[in-house]
Amino acid sequence: MDEKLISGKAIGKEIREEIKEKVAELKKEGCTPGLAVILVGDNQASHTYVRNKQKSSGEVGMKSELVELPSTVTEDELLGHVAKLNADDSIHGILVQLPLPNHIDENRIILAIDPAKDVDGFHPVNVGKMMIGQQTFLSCTPYGIMKLLERKNIPVRGKHAVIVGRSNIVGKPMGQLLLQQDATVTYCHSKTEDLPAITKQADILVVAIGRTKFITAEHVKDGAVVIDVGMNRDENGKLCGDVDFDAVVEKASAITPVPGGVGPMTITMLLENTLQSAEQTLAESQGQK
């Protein structure tokens, strides 16, 4: 079974080692990549994600700055913090952890982030660039999944990729990135009729719906590559994905576990985007000299 596992834990570690070396080189040139994270309120999952992001950025030698705000913060106050970070030359990446409290318009906040520092790849300018295949910050989870496929030498060209889930953060950009690599892409979602009939056609099946063990052996073709983006708790409180791993692993040719699959790649690609932003800033400042 082990040879079927796509370990984001191992591949993420490998990439973070590469990032660490590049950060050290940048530091020699007087540029320390800086990542700022804005965390609003006391959502426990968000606090855990942010703690991990900060820990990982420190481990590769980046500067990380946390702006922690109460859930009562106003939209204008939050916009003020974003503006300050936009203007701060020591910050190359800005991330506003989602979800935000209901009284704040997420779209307005994302729009306020300088697209050149939008290391989440959420700004409409960067989403647009991604859509037309221009170089930009790619949304970290789909970007991480593309890296997993690449490092495991899993062919994409001409394959039928089925995406289950159509979120702006994962499902939609995932399909676009696979399309750019010449996959034939089908999107499925909660209103899709006869889901198993479609998922069974997938050579590559990406599942991002947030429903515990929803995808069973009945949904999967023999030999499919299965990527599980889910991060759920089962009835015993154990971390598990959207895919019933024990059943599906029997049919899949390769599969990501939860935990240790896609999760570690999301953070890794955030660091990759921050590094890319710092490199770009340094190149521009050297060009101006």
Interface positions with ligand GUN (CB under 6 A): 95-98, 120, 140, 169, 266
Looking at the Cβ atoms of 98 and 179, the one nearer to ligand GUN is 98
Smallest distance, ligand GUN to C-beta of residue 167, A: 10
DSSP 117: G
Query: What is the maximum alpha-carbon separation in the chain?
Result: 61
Smallest distance, ligand GUN to C-beta of residue 118, A: 10
Looking at the Cβ atoms of 97 and 281, the one nearer to ligand GUN is 97
CB 61, CB 23: distance < 8 Å: yes
Looking at the Cβ atoms of 111 and 247, the one nearer to ligand GUN is 111
Q: Can 120 be counted among the known catalytic residues? A: yes
- Options 53, 117, 159, 172, the catalytic residue: 53
- Options 118, 120, 203, 242, the catalytic residue: 120
Residue with the CB atom nearest ligand GUN in the bound state: 98
Alpha carbon distance 202, 53 (integer Å)? 32
Q: Can 89 be counted among the known catalytic residues? A: no
Looking at the Cβ atoms of 144 and 175, the one nearer to ligand GUN is 144
Smallest distance, ligand GUN to C-beta of residue 50, A: 9
- Provide DSSP, 153-190: T---TT-EEEEE---TTTHHHHHHHHHHTT-EEEEE-T
Looking at the Cβ atoms of 119 and 205, the one nearer to ligand GUN is 119
Closest by CA position to 134, among listed 180, 178, 93: 180
- Options 97, 203, 213, 242, the catalytic residue: 97
Q: Is the peptide bond before 99 cis (omega within 30 degrees of 0)?
A: yes
Alpha carbon distance 114, 112 (integer Å)? 6
Smallest distance, ligand GUN to C-beta of residue 145, A: 13
Q: Can 242 be counted among the known catalytic residues? A: no
Smallest distance, ligand GUN to C-beta of residue 170, A: 9
Alpha carbon distance 241, 171 (integer Å)? 15
Alpha carbon distance 66, 47 (integer Å)? 11
Virtual torsion, Cα 223, 10, 143, 122, nearest 10 deg: 130
Looking at the Cβ atoms of 142 and 257, the one nearer to ligand GUN is 142
Which amino acid appears at position 6 of this protein? Answer: I
Stated as kind and residue range, the H or E segment containing 79 is helix 75-86
Smallest distance, ligand GUN to C-beta of residue 180, A: 20
The residues that are catalytic are: 53, 97, 120
